Amino acid sequence: MMMERVWRTAISAALLSVAFSRSGAQETLVKPGATVKFQIDSTASTHSAELARLTRDSLFLAECGTCRRLLYSRAEVSRLAVLRVESRGDRMLAGFAIGALLGGGLGYLAAANCGGSDQCDLAGLAIPFGGIFGGLIGTVAGLFSAYKWTPVPPEAVNIQLPPS
């Protein structure tokens, strides 16, 4: 009875952390220094570069190892996207909660199916170790899933402030 209540609480916490980790509005402002990915219509090649400035009609690049030039008109650029880092803390917390829940659940199943032999004395340790190990794997997965390519709408521009 007590274990059932613990599992229900853990499942509720995992679901809430996943729900709150997704609740952030994406900004459409593309900032100088951001990593952008774009495709040139004439060559159909895709490039990844550091953005210097984005206007309604031009794409200015600071660095691009695969580009022939650092200035492109927006008319010749298609599929412009910016690399964004979502809230790592929320993603890592959600990953930890889901991983710990799955790892602990697998540990519980392993302990429940022990069969009553002498080795069952240590089978109860599968639950906490499974939860800890699953939580660590989930945390790393949450960290790496925080990087997303976000499409940039054609009307998006950045604000370049003059040096002070």
- One-letter amino acid at 74 equals R
Tell if the pTM clears 0.85, that is, is over it: no
For residue 125, give the 3-state DSSP assignment: helix
Rounded to whole angstroms, the Cα distance separating 133 from 103 reads 7
Rounded to whole angstroms, the Cα distance separating 143 from 132 reads 17
Picking from 59, 57, 68, the residue whose alpha carbon sits closest to that of residue 36 is: 59
Decide if 128 contacts 107 (C-beta within 8 A).
Answer: yes
Rounded to whole angstroms, the Cα distance separating 69 from 64 reads 8
Per-residue confidence in pLDDT tens, the chain, 164 aa: 455 565 566 566 555 554 444 444 344 467 888 899 998 877 778 899 999 988 888 889 999 988 889 998 888 888 888 888 777 788 888 889 999 999 888 888 888 877 766 667 777 788 888 889 988 998 888 887 777 888 887 776 554 444 43
